[in-house]
Structure 1
Amino acid sequence: MNKDAQNAWSGQVRLIGVDFTSAPRPRKPITVACGHLSGQCVFLESLETCVDWTAFEAVLARPGPWLGGFDFPFGLPREAVLDLGWPLEWAALVRHCVILGRERFRTILDEYRQTRPFGQRYAHRQTDRPAHSHSPLKLVNPPVGLMFFEGTPRLLEADVTVAGMHCADPARVAVEAYPGLLARSITLDSYKSDEKKKQTSVRHEARKRIAIALREGAHPLGLRLAGDSALIEQIIADASGDLLDATLALVQAGWSLQAGPPNFGLQDGFDPLEGWIAGLA
Structure 2
Amino acid sequence: MNALVRSPAPSVPLRGVDFSSAPSRRKPIVEAQGWRQGSVVHLQGWRRHASLPDWQDSLREPGPWIGGFDLPFGLPRELVVAQGWPLSWAPLMRHYTCQQRDDLRARFAAFCAGRPAGGKFAHRRCDGPAGASPSMKWVNPPVAWMLHAGVAGLLAAGVSLPGLHDGDPQRLALEAYPGLLAREVLGRRSYKSDDVARQTPDREQARGELLQALRAGCTRLGLRLQASPEQCQALCQEPRGDLLDAVLCLMQVAWSLDQPRHGWPPEVDPLEGWILTAPWAAA
C-alpha separation in 2, matches of 1:248 and 1:12: 17
For structure 1, the 5+ residue unaligned runs are 1-9
Give a deviation string over 1:184-212, Cα, whole Å, max 9, x none.
Answer: 00112110000111001100000000001
Which residue does 2:3 correspond to in 1? none
For residue 44 of structure 1, what is the amino acid of its counterpart?
L
Which residue of 2 is the match for residue 5 of structure 1? none
Provide the residue aligned with 1:19 in structure 2: 18
- What is residue 276 of structure 2 aligned with on the other side? 278
Measured in 2, the distance between the counterparts of 1:96 and 1:19 equals 25
Match of 2:4 in 1: none
Residue 12 of structure 1 deviates from its aligned partner by 4.4
Task: Give the 5 Å matches for 1:43-192.
Answer: 43-188=42-187, 189-192=189-192
Name 1:4's counterpart in structure 2. Answer: none
Deviations 1:89-143 (A, max 9, x none): 1111111112222222222112221122222110000000111111011111101
1:224 correspondence with 2:224 = yes
1:11 is displaced (CA, Å) by 8.3
Q: Give the structure 2 partner of residue 251 of structure 1.
A: 251
What's the Cα RMSD here? 1.3
For structure 2, the 5+ residue unaligned runs are 1-8
Alignment length (residue pairs): 270
CA distance in 2, matches of 1:134, 1:228: 33
Aligned partners of 1:12 and 1:65 also within 8 Å: no
Q: Which amino acid aligns with 1:19?
A: D
Per-residue CA deviations over 1:25-68 (Å, capped at 9, x if unaligned) read 11111111000110001110011111101111022111111110
TM (norm. structure 1) is: 0.93
Asked if 1:267 corresponds to 2:265, the answer is: yes
Cα drift, residue 216 of structure 1: 0.7
**Secondary structure of 1:247's partner?**
helix
Determine the structure 2 residue equivalent to 1:35: 34
Whole-angstrom CA distance in 1 between matches of 2:270 and 2:82 = 17
State the TM-score, normalized to the length of structure 2: 0.92
In 2, the alpha carbon distance for the partners of 1:91 and 1:156 equals 9
1: distance between equivalents of 2:266 and 2:236? 35
For residues 252 and 115 of structure 1, the distance between their equivalents in structure 2, rounded to whole angstroms, comes to 37
Instruction: Answer whether contact 1:44 1:225 (CA < 8 A) is retained.
Output: yes
2:15–2:34 CA contact under 8 A, matched in 1: yes
> 1-side partners of 2:99 and 2:52: how far apart?
20
Identity value in percent? 45
CA distance in 1, matches of 2:121, 2:201: 35
Distance 2:170 2:97 in 1: 25
Equivalent position amino acid for 1:251 in 2: M
Q: Distance in 2 between matches of 1:99 and 1:127?
A: 25
Map 1:203-242; keep pairs closer than 5 Å.
Answer: 203-242=203-242
